Every structure is written in C-alpha cells, then in structure tokens.
Amino acid sequence: MASVIEARSCERFGLLAAHAPTEAMRGWYRELFASEARHHRLFASLAEEIFGEERARERIGFLVQREAEILSRSALRPRVH
Ligand SMILES: [Fe+2]
C-alpha cells in the first residue's frame, strides 16, 4: 500500500513539475518527483524482499486495480495528500 501511495505522489509531482509556472517551481517539483520515486521503489523492494517479487507485484497490482475501481466511482477533482 505504501508503494502505491508513493507512486501516486510521484505522479502528482511529475505533473506539477511539467506545468508549474516558473522554472524554480518546476525544479522544486522535479526534486520532489525524484524523492517520491525513490520512496515508491523502496517500499516495493521491501515487499519483494519479504514476500518475493511475484507475490509483491500481484499484491500491488490488486491494490492498483481496487484503487481504479474506487476512483471510477468518485468525482474528478484535484487531489494532493
Ligand atoms: Fe514520499
């Protein structure tokens, strides 16, 4: 679950890095994007280490699928956690 949360943060900062109004802001968001990408990989690696790569990826896939189902039923709006 932590890996998915970090991946979503990574995506959001990636969008902000691409669309922020100044280069200073885009640079700041690029740094946050990279940081969140490392966090995502860290949690995924920990899950793979503990449960094995196949089981960890299956679980992450399940969580992402459930997330998509939940979000498909909710209103589209900006979100940052
Ligand atoms: Fe993070």
- State the 10-residue block means of pLDDT for the chain, 81 residues long: 94 95 97 97 97 97 95 83 61
Could you tell me the two tokens for 36?
């969140």
Say which residues have a Cβ less than 8 Å from residue 30's Cβ, sequence separation at least 6.
Answer: 13, 17
Say which residues have a Cβ less than 8 Å from residue 47's Cβ, sequence separation at least 6.
Answer: 3, 56, 59, 60
Model pTM score: 0.84
pLDDT at 79: 72
CA 5 / ligand 1 centre spacing (Å): 8
Count CA atoms within 13 Å of residue 16 on its CB side. 19
pLDDT at 65: 97
Say which residues have a Cβ less than 8 Å from residue 40's Cβ, sequence separation at least 6.
Answer: 3, 6, 7, 10
CA 21 / ligand 1 centre spacing (Å): 23
pLDDT at 80: 67
CA 57 / ligand 1 centre spacing (Å): 19
CA 52 / ligand 1 centre spacing (Å): 23
